[in-house]
Amino acid sequence: MDGEECISPDKSHPRDRSMSDPIQLAQWMAGDFSNYKQSYEYPTLFAHIRIFFRPLPFEFFNTIGFYSEQVYDYDLWSPYRQGVHRLIPRGNEVYIENYALDDPMLYAGAARDLEILSTISPNCLKRRYNCSMVFRRRGGESFVGSVEPGNNCIVPRNGRKTYLVSEVEVTERTWTSRDRGFDLDTHEQVWGSAAGALEFEKRDSFASEVPIVF
């Protein structure tokens, strides 16, 4: 998830299941993910990447929130993407707002070090408007998400204005994602994987840190 700008479900009743979706999505997201298998099988196409989604304390947003890092496995202290995210249930969908950090490298490693994580404050965030992700349950085994519609999540890249197209699928043990940027005027792809989606497997779960709030 990128942009321009800091439980098992209760199946006894459809409404109960819908209300549990944000909790289950958050618990599945909470973890340390690696695409080691993909990078080992296709080393010329995919680098070995780690993605971390670490739950924030309830008091940070007064709801479920995450700090995230994406980093090359060989250099865990130099993430190339960092963010903060807030989950918002809306009917049968879960919106995830995205925020940038004012000085992200101050918090490098926070996904692995709770002492660093505790230094992040809501005051150091800037909302990435038009860049929320919208997730929906697909069957009982996964959630699928994409950036909110409108092609308005603008990402400057290589001197050009591009809009983000982000596609994600989350299961209990996997995270599959593909982020691409397209020219705002020509709709030509400017950046992002040409080889397909990144395929991650969960190495460690932080689900026990997700507050049960919905």
Strand partners, 180: 165, 192
Each residue of 15-53: pLDDT tens digit?
344 448 999 999 999 999 999 999 999 999 999 999 999
Percentage of the chain lying above the pLDDT 90 cut: 86
Q: How far apart are alpha carbons 71 and 52 in whole angstroms?
A: 9
Q: Are 88 and 24 in contact (CB under 8 A)?
A: no
The pLDDT assigned to 99 comes to: 98
- Alpha-carbon 1 to chain mean position: 5
Please enumerate in sequence order all residues whose Cβ is within 8 A of that of 64, keeping only pairs 6 or more positions apart, or say none: 22, 23, 26, 55, 58, 86, 87, 210, 211, 213, 214
The pLDDT assigned to 2 comes to: 46
Q: pTM for the complete prediction?
A: 0.88
The pLDDT assigned to 193 comes to: 85
The torsion angles phi and psi of 136, rounded to 5 degrees, stand at: -135, 145
The pLDDT assigned to 194 comes to: 84
Q: How far apart are alpha carbons 157 and 35 in whole angstroms?
A: 25
The pLDDT assigned to 158 comes to: 85
Q: Are 97 and 125 in contact (CB under 8 A)?
A: no
Each residue of 110-158: pLDDT tens digit?
999 999 999 999 999 999 999 999 999 998 899 999 999 999 999 999 8
Q: Are 184 and 170 in contact (CB under 8 A)?
A: no
Structure tokens at 101: 């950090």
Confidence of residue 214 (pLDDT cuts 50, 70, 90): confident
Structure tokens at 163: 């809009």
Q: Is the dihedral of CA 125, 128, 64, 210 positive or negative?
A: negative
Q: If one looks up domain 14-195 in CATH, what number appears? A: 2.40.128.590
Percentage of the chain lying above the pLDDT 70 cut: 91
The pLDDT assigned to 168 comes to: 98
Residues 87-109 have a mean pLDDT of 97
Mean pLDDT score across all residues of the chain: 91
